[in-house]
Amino acid sequence: MLDDFFFRALLAGVGVALVAAPLGCFIVWRRLAYFGDTMAHSALLGIALAALLDLNLILGVFVVAAGVALTLVVLSRSEVVPVDSLLGILSHSTLALGLVLIAFMSWLRVDLTGLLFGDILAVSRQDLALIYGGGLAVIAALIAIWRPLLAGTVNVELAAAEDLAPERARLVFMLLMAAVIATAMKVVGILLITALLIIPAAAARRFATTPEAMALVAAGLGGLAALLGLFGSLRFDTPSGPSIVVAALAIFLISLGTTRLRRFGGAPEAR
């Protein structure tokens, strides 16, 4: 019989994976892996500012991650700094600023290991309500912007010509990413959130031939990775967050073995 805390961890891991994986598909299609990493690293700065201002931690992470995303959009348009350099600067500077601020707050007791790598076994019923309630809202918003976001991924100029407002959809997508990062932080941690976004989506490319199918398969593979990772963590006494990512990696490696079979069968790979 599973303990109550482990059952909550299973529900939390699956809930986060089901929401993160479809968003990860757009990260893979748009080649925004480093962008997602930058937003995830900014979460620590959000935690530090929330503690300093006595705000809700999840709200603080969301506000800072959203602010970093909007800053990237504005600065990338100005072309003052190349986008890849800008991502590197913001990624490492926000992480470092968060660590320095936390160090200055001597009265604050923070479990940095839990923040960086997750503490899914400490998930409460309130956390589950937030994960599933927020997850449903994120999925609903993603469905609402799916068409313009997908069109903008394929061709921004054509999507704009068809009056689909791809830039607005892109901004909404960034805010959704910020929301997922804020809620997933407790499950897999700041340093591993991007892996949960990207790896299931990358694996799903081998099993899907349409964008919609890829999003569904990615969600399923993400949920499977959460289950396998947690049971593996229980069996081998390993850290739960990293174990979930390792399980996702194993699924991805298995998916690579299907490439030759797909080519032999002539089925096109989802893009």
List pLDDT tens digits, range 134-186. Answer: 999 999 999 999 999 999 999 988 888 888 888 899 999 999 999 999 988 88
Q: What is the structure's pLDDT at 111?
A: 82
Residue 269: inside a domain: no
Judge whether residue 2 has pLDDT over 70.
Answer: no
Mean pLDDT throughout 245-254? Answer: 95
3 state DSSP class of 155: coil
Q: What is the structure's pLDDT at 219?
A: 96
Backbone φ, ψ for residue 47 (5° rounding) = -65, -45
Mean pLDDT, the chain, whole residue set: 89
Q: What is the CATH number of the domain that holds 237?
A: 1.10.3470.10
Q: What is the structure's pLDDT at 31?
A: 87
Residue 265: inside a domain: no
How far is 268 from 265, CA to CA, in rounded Å?
9
Judge whether residue 118 has pLDDT over 50.
Answer: yes
Closest C-alpha to 120, from 270, 232, 265: 232
Residue 76: inside a domain: yes
| Contact partners, residue 261, CB within 8 Å, separation at least 6 | none
Confidence of residue 263 (pLDDT cuts 50, 70, 90): low
E strand or H helix at 46:
helix 33-53
How many domains would you assign to the chain? Answer: 1
Confidence of residue 267 (pLDDT cuts 50, 70, 90): very low
Closest C-alpha to 223, from 125, 132, 124: 132
Backbone φ, ψ for residue 244 (5° rounding) = -65, -45
**182's torsion region: left (phi>0), alpha (psi -120 to 50) or beta?**
alpha
Q: What is the structure's pLDDT at 75?
A: 79
pLDDT > 70 in the chain, percent: 94
Closest C-alpha to 194, from 6, 18, 28: 28
Mean pLDDT throughout 121-130? Answer: 91
Judge whether residue 124 has pLDDT over 60.
Answer: yes
Judge whether residue 218 has pLDDT over 60.
Answer: yes
Q: Where in the sequence is the domain holding 177, given as residue range(s)?
A: 4-258
CB-facing half-sphere around the CA of 110: CA atoms within 13 A: 25
Judge whether residue 191 has pLDDT over 50.
Answer: yes
Residue 268: inside a domain: no
Residue 264: inside a domain: no
Mean pLDDT throughout 6-19? Answer: 94
Confidence of residue 190 (pLDDT cuts 50, 70, 90): confident
Mean pLDDT throughout 100-124? Answer: 87
Residue 47: inside a domain: yes
Residue 216: inside a domain: yes
Q: What is the structure's pLDDT at 259?
A: 62
Judge whether residue 249 has pLDDT over 80.
Answer: yes
Mean pLDDT throughout 120-129? Answer: 91
